[in-house]
Structure 1
Amino acid sequence: MGKLGTLTIGQAPRADITPILDTVLPADLPRIHAGVLDGLGWSAIEQDFAPVPGQPVLITKLLDGSSVIIDRARTEAAAQSKLHALEAEGCTTILMLCTGHFETLRTRQARFLEPDRILPPTVAALISSAQLGIIVPLAEQIASEAAKWKPLTLPPICAAASPYQGDLAAVTHAAEDLRVRGAGILLMDCMGFVEDHRRAAAAAGLPVILSNSLISKLASELV
């Protein structure tokens, strides 16, 4: 049996995501959880990862439960060194706990599972020609993350609701908005969306794909 490494763009361990992984992974599978922002306080995060006006951003969660918006390019650069560190600790498979689009991340030998590369073709195959409605955490991500959905038969329609604000009503509202606009199936496009968010979105009466659940099930087949 190998060793699984997970990498969040926030701080590890992610108490919201790891239980979902634990339900499908072998109990005796060794695993290491790491985060791009591990060990950093607010001032360091602000200094090194502050959003750049007009550039793509990501949102993530810290150990204290708060959320932070960070620059995607700086996060990607920092994530690369974290991947090498996980490999140095013996990880044979590394799962990225972020659905954001990254161009340059690579591992030397470990199998690297990137949700932004796995989700679009998998979801496209699952939904066929249905109209997909996507809930993203930030309105800014509707444009910056659009390119990864090219495998879909129809361009997706999107709405924003954060998984980190504790506002399930906002998730339901976004889902209902997408249904009214013609969505037939919904996707929660952030690893921070959990089962409570899926139930909130399902109140709109449509099937809901939860990204972290789907990715966890697929990852379990390889470890």
Structure 2
Amino acid sequence: MSKGLIGVLTIGQSPRTDVTPSFEKILGEEIKLIERGALDRLKMEDMQLISPDLTEQTYISRLRNGEAVKIGKQRLLPLLQRELTELEMNVEVVMMLCTGDFPTLNATKPIIYPDQILTHTVQAISPTGILGLIIPLEEQRETLIEKWATCNLTLITEVASPYEKSDVKGAAERLQQHGADLIVLDCMGYNEHHKKMAIVGSGLPVILPRTLTARIALEYIEK
């Protein structure tokens, strides 16, 4: 018998078979996941419609065929809202599968936002010092630095995508060499192997958003 229903809302396409095993390991078999994706109803030939232009914030996610896709935020929001509205009718709480911020989304059920969990966690355990960020895309650098600026930490960044072959270990090593005290893998696409490589490369504590978010969800829904 299920102990609870958690919605998983990705900005790409569901199912996110690259992520949900991490959730299931933490949540256990008695909690059921129901997935939706902002791009679920788009055909491959229509994917160019959500490509970012030079003036808007860029996100990256995964299609169900395993390919990565770049998404413009303004094109994403109405698609995300449509899927959220339907998803929350069938679940108790929704986990956002993105570390971006989405303050304009309207919801009737609680939404667990990884970006808020990350920033508050870092502030709690490392109120001063140097924070190293590993991020998926070069074009996200300025936006993510602005997001993390509220933590009043010195920020240094390296780029290593979780969706293609990249040197996460080397990125983490460079962050350590530049004085980082803590590393955050700032994307839900990073997995436990990426975290291990970052630890090996840096010898520093590394925060993985997907497992942190799942543990918060379990704390909320477990009765």
TM-score by length of 2: 0.92
Tell me, yes or no, if structure 1 residue 204 matches structure 2 residue 202: yes
Match for 1:176 among 173, 176, 181? Answer: 173
Q: Match for residue 50 of structure 1? A: 51
Alignment of 1:51-130 (within 5 A): 51-88=52-89, 90-108=90-108, 110-130=109-129
For residues 98 and 25 of structure 2, the distance between their equivalents in structure 1, rounded to whole angstroms, comes to 19
For residues 169 and 216 of structure 2, the distance between their equivalents in structure 1, rounded to whole angstroms, comes to 27
The runs of at least 4 aligned residues of structure 1 exceeding 3 Å deviation read none
Match for 1:222 among 201, 214, 220? Answer: 220
Q: Is the 8 Å Cα contact of residues 20 and 213 (structure 1) preserved in structure 2?
A: yes
Q: Match for residue 8 of structure 1? A: 10
For residues 72 and 172 of structure 1, the distance between their equivalents in structure 2, rounded to whole angstroms, comes to 29
Q: Match for residue 26 of structure 2? A: 24
For residues 73 and 156 of structure 2, the distance between their equivalents in structure 1, rounded to whole angstroms, comes to 22
Q: Is the 8 Å Cα contact of residues 12 and 38 (structure 1) preserved in structure 2?
A: yes
Q: Is the 8 Å Cα contact of residues 106 and 112 (structure 1) preserved in structure 2?
A: no
Structure 1: runs of 5+ lacking an equivalent:
none
2:105 partner SS: coil
Residue identity (%): 38
Q: CA deviation at 1:30?
A: 2.9
Q: Is the 8 Å Cα contact of residues 129 and 154 (structure 2) preserved in structure 1?
A: no
Q: Is the 8 Å Cα contact of residues 97 and 115 (structure 1) preserved in structure 2?
A: yes
2:31 partner SS: coil
In structure 2, what residue type is equivalent to 1:87? Answer: E
Structure 2: runs of 5+ lacking an equivalent:
none
For residues 153 and 88 of structure 2, the distance between their equivalents in structure 1, rounded to whole angstroms, comes to 38
For residues 146 and 70 of structure 2, the distance between their equivalents in structure 1, rounded to whole angstroms, comes to 21
Q: Is the 8 Å Cα contact of residues 60 and 70 (structure 2) preserved in structure 1?
A: yes
2:176 partner SS: helix
Q: Match for residue 37 of structure 2? A: 35
Q: CA deviation at 1:106?
A: 2.5
Q: CA deviation at 1:197?
A: 0.7
For residues 155 and 103 of structure 1, the distance between their equivalents in structure 2, rounded to whole angstroms, comes to 25
Q: CA deviation at 1:107?
A: 0.6
Q: CA RMSD in A?
A: 1.5
